[in-house]
Every structure is written in structure tokens, then in C-alpha cells.
Amino acid sequence: MSRPPKAPPLPAAVARAAVDSLSDAIVIVGADAGVMHMNPAAEELFGRSRDRAVGLPVRALPGGAQLAILAERARASEESASTDFPSPQDPAVSVLAEAGPLLDGPTCVGTVVALRVPRSSERTLDFEALAAGLAHEIKNPLAGLQGSAELLAREATGSAKEYAQVIAREAKRVDGLVRELLDLARPAALQAAPVNIHALLEDVLLLARGLPGGDRVVYTERYDPSLPRVHGDREKLTQVLLNLVRNAVEAVQGSQRCEIAFETSVASLRLRAAGGRTRPLARVSVIDSGPGIPEAMLPRLFTPFATSKAHGTGLGLAISRRIVEAHGGRIEVKNRGPRGAEASVFLPLETA
């Protein structure tokens, strides 16, 4: 019997395209522990472009020391190995890393490290159900309480009137919190269209001057005039950027320099879209001259109810991230040097 013809070798370009189309982050590590290749999902996870990462030791990546140990273990044993480690984006999220030997015939020439990040729907489903159920249960009796307190405040006199006014005011504050919970629990329904991000920022700037303390801030605009339109929901993007500016205005109060800068550019980072393709992104940053964010708070910034503000709810950034992710984008907050913080929103650009 004749043997079936041997399959032709897979072209390198096709193999690379296959790796790049995977939804899991893939890092190919050479025998010298250097990065040989990263797919778009890995670029997104580590916040590094492939061009900047290739040739560097894998240890140079965020959390790379642990990945280097895992890769070396798989290369030396020529067997698969796995471990959990904190996500470079959110240390509160555990990433599953699996490494396997990369064999060229009998020779092990490196390792393939696959990293699987739990999808946002997997992480937030229980919280969303709890938040929606709780908000709906509270909303009806709260409306009755607020209405009754307002009626009582009109008719009462003396201290009874003051107490009724306090009840009505606090009920209104709780109603605002319930609305934020519902915003967080409900999917962000978008009315997407081409948006001129610079025109949107001009509207946000006008609103920022009306915030408490906003009129004392010096605003700087550093825009890329060639930036194309972004694809998004103008109203919801205004909500996101106004929330970031509100945080910045509060942060600079009491500083010697009350300055906030708006920056736009085409981002060096590209995010993977459905089907494995990548899309160019716009970067919209709000940079303040405040004291920065406490290091202990940074990993928890997008966690609901995590806040360092005396009267904050901690829901603003969580809702903002939900809106940005619904646009297929990404939001990051980080400190800048000795003072100040930078909040950046990455949004898909409108394509022809």
C-alpha cells in the first residue's frame, strides 16, 4: 500500500496569523528567555506593543519574573507547566498561565506561554444580578420615604421640620446611589455613531468649569489635529470623560498648581476585535497636577465601592469602565512621577 502524501509544512505567515487570531494572550519565549513574539491579546494584557517587547527578556514584562520561571521550567523539562499570577492590568484578577515546550524536531527552541484572563462577564455576573435586584427592591420604598419626608417638611415646624428635611435630603442621596447601581448592573446600550472627540472635549471643558473648584483650574489642551473620529455613543462618552475630569478637579484642590491637561493622539496600542483583527485606537487622557493616587488604592480603582474619598461611592470609575468596554475600548489610570495622575481612555477609531 502506498503511503498518503505528506502534508506540506505550514507557512510561517499562516502560523503567525493563527497565533494572532487567538483570544488568549500568547507569548513565545526563546531558549535565551527573550520574547520572540506576542499576539495582540498579549499586547493588550501587558500594555506593550510587540515591537517594543520582542528581543527583551520576558522578565521585562509586567509580572515577567514569574513567567520567566514558568517558561524555563517547561523548556528544561520539555513538559507543560502552569501557574496563576496577578493580572498586569488588575492584580485582583488571577490569570491562568500555561507554558509548553516549543519543539523544532527533537530540539526544544523555546516555550509557548498562553495566558487566559477571565472575561468581564465571568467576573461580574454575580455582582450585576445582586446590584440589580437590590436596587429594584430599594427603589420603590425609597420613593415613598422621600415623598413622605418632603410633605412632612412642608407642614412641620421647628426641629421636626429640620429632621424631615434631613430625611428627604438623605433619601435623595440614596436614590442617586441606587441609580448608579442600576447603571452598573445594566448592559451599556449604545447609540454609536462617528464622534469628533475634540468637540466632545470642548463640551466637557465647559462643564468642568462649572464644577465646585473647577473655575480655579488652569486647563491645557494638547490635541492631535489629525485624529480621526472615534466610533461611539457621544452621551455616554461625555459621561465617562466628565467623571474623569471631576476626579481630576477634586484631586488638584489644595495643590500649589491647579492644572489639568487634556491630551489626544493615535494610540501605539491596538486592541484585538472579533475574528482576531486589530483596530487602531484613539487615546484620550486627562492629566492632573494633584498628589497622585495612593499605591494601595491603584489595584482597586475600578472595584465598586472602593474609594479614598470621604463622600464617594466608588462607582464612577466602575461605571466608566463598563461603558468604555462596551465600546470595545479600554480605560487606564496611573500615577505620573512624583506628583499627578493620568486617566486614559482608548477608543476604536472610525474606519472607512
For the domain that residue 28 is a member of, what is the CATH number? 3.30.450.20
DSSP-H helix ranges across 12-119? 12-20, 40-46, 50-53, 64-77
Residue 136 has pLDDT above 90, yes or no: no
pLDDT of residue 271: 65
> Does 175 lie in the same domain as 105?
no
CB atoms inside a 10 Å sphere around CB 141: 10
Any domain includes 151 = yes
Reported as a single tens digit per residue, the pLDDT across 267-316 is: 887 665 544 566 788 999 999 999 888 888 887 787 776 666 656 666 78
For helices 316-326 and 158-185, give the axis angle rounded to 10 degrees.
30
Any domain includes 199 = yes
> Does 105 lie in the same domain as 151?
no
Any domain includes 8 = no
Domain end residue (candidates: 140, 161, 185): 185
The residue that leads in pLDDT, 322 or 276, is 322
DSSP 100-125: EEEEETTEEEEEEEEEEPPPHHHHHH
User: pTM above 0.75?
Assistant: no
Q: Which residues of 5-22 are buried (b: 16+ CB within 10 A; e: fewer)?
A: eeeeeeeeeeeeeebbee
> Does 337 lie in the same domain as 232?
yes
Task: Report the pLDDT averaged over residues 74-100.
Answer: 81
Cα–Cα distance measured from residue 268 to residue 257, given in angstroms and rounded to the nearest whole number: 30
Going by the DSSP 8-state scheme, the letter that residue 7 receives in this structure is P
Residue 213 has pLDDT above 70, yes or no: yes
Task: Report the pLDDT averaged over residues 329-345.
Answer: 88
- CB-CB contact of 25 with 39 (8 Å): yes
pLDDT of residue 188: 59
- Read off the C-alpha cell for 67: 513567567
Cα–Cα distance measured from residue 166 to residue 150, given in angstroms and rounded to the nearest whole number: 10
Range with the lowest mean pLDDT among 133-137, 144-148, 335-339?
Answer: 133-137
> Does 176 lie in the same domain as 39?
no
- CB-CB contact of 350 with 230 (8 Å): yes
pLDDT of residue 308: 63
> Does 144 lie in the same domain as 95?
no
> Does 106 lie in the same domain as 175?
no
| E strand or H helix that includes residue 195 | strand 193-195
Residue 345 has pLDDT above 70, yes or no: yes
Domain end residue (candidates: 185, 217, 237): 185
> Does 132 lie in the same domain as 94?
no
Residue 152 has pLDDT above 90, yes or no: no
Domain end residue (candidates: 169, 185, 201): 185
Task: Give the distance from CA 290 to its chain's centroid.
Answer: 21
Going by the DSSP 8-state scheme, the letter that residue 328 receives in this structure is T
Q: For residue 176, give its domain range.
A: 121-185
Count of structural domains, the chain? 3
pLDDT of residue 122: 47
